[in-house]
Structure 1
Amino acid sequence: MSLKERIQHVEERIWAACDRSGRNPGEVTVIAVTKYVTTEMTRSVLESGITHLGENRPGVAVPKWEALGGQGVWHFIGHLQSRKVKDVVGKFQYIHSLDRLSLAQELDKRAAAAGATVNVFLQVNVSGETSKQGITPGEAEAFLREAEQYPHIRIIGLMTMAPEEEDPERTRPVFRRLRELRDELNAKGVTKEPITELSMGMSGDFEVAIEEGATWVRLGTLLVGKGEET
């Protein structure tokens, strides 16, 4: 399929998932994960009307960002090393992988120096898989209370990755638990402003994630295909 056809196909599936769960499709934003495609393909994604781009390696993403003149809204969606924060702040408007207080401190320091505020998602390892980054659900409240001391990061939501399953339905408990955790934290008033966003769901399970409350879905191959990195 062409890019246009893939986008239309994804939009139809999002609308159907929202219809099944009684949600407004306007509540769901697609992040095109462009980490495996060329700068030219990324430009085509932007020209198609999709403005949110997801990358996970500064060494690959920054040259792409520069070549595109900073067009689009950039999301860092992979594990972020503290020493790479300087390359990310000022280019990426969203960080989806806050998983330790030392990273929060470094983000805050770099954002303060840049006179900016960075929107971040707290990464929660709901499934408990050792292969995945993130804090446990039980650590979230204490983490958020500690993170309040960093004024230049704004924790707007939670992020998780579900296990890879042949049957997407098996991922539902993971997505449901993240939504429940968000609601529990808000009910306790843990943060100054309510946490509203849920970054969850990828190409194989995004419909289930939407049915469980996802507000951001991260779609790579299904949406943009797969090619050589530049």
Structure 2
Amino acid sequence: MTYAPAPEQLPQQPQQQPQQQAKKPTYKRLWFIILAVIVVFAIAGSLGGGDEADTAGASGADTGTDAAAPAVGDVAEVPVEADSGNPGIGEPAADGKFNFVVNGVDCSATEIGSQYANTTAQGQFCIVDVTITNIGNEAQSFFGDNAKLFNAEGQQFSADSEAAIYLEDSSSLYEEINPGNTLSSKVIFDVPAGTTPTAIELHDSAFSGGVTVDLQ
């Protein structure tokens, strides 16, 4: 019986170890990490900016609402006229040797005098009733012409000495007052119709500084 010869066994080649996969260069991995970080920050910044814009818009809307809404409990302020510091009606006001007290003012007349002797105002007469006391040590003469009348617009009016002639017991043309004596006088002014006097300036002489008395 014949046997076929056994096949020749080829010498076994040493098993090669699988080649290790080539490593990526380090610089490529570093750039990848940097790009990833940049992308993350860009996305976060975009989201944050949107939130801030929304917040700012909401704040602006709130501010507009607050500005438009009237404050609760606000009361309109009423302007108060500053006190001039001048004496008023019924209060003493001194200038030089004279102490003046204005008792009142009447601007209702357009004609004064009697039926036989009278005068008519160009506008209306304002008659100021004043009491004068000599507080000095010598006699002093009172002249009504030294007085000046003022309105709210600051217009100045002179006394009407001619009209004073027709007013009984006016004592405003000329009157000498001894120390300690008191005189009642009426000083007359011819002013435009509708004028409301606000102050009178009184003098003990034509050269004195004068004193202002408020009539309102």
Q: Which has the higher strand share?
A: 2
In the superposition, the TM-score normalised over structure 1's length comes to: 0.23
Give the number of the structure whose alpha-carbon radius of gyration is greater.
2
RCO comparison, higher one (Cα < 8 Å, 6+): 1
In the superposition, the TM-score normalised over structure 2's length comes to: 0.24
Q: Which has the higher helix share?
A: 1
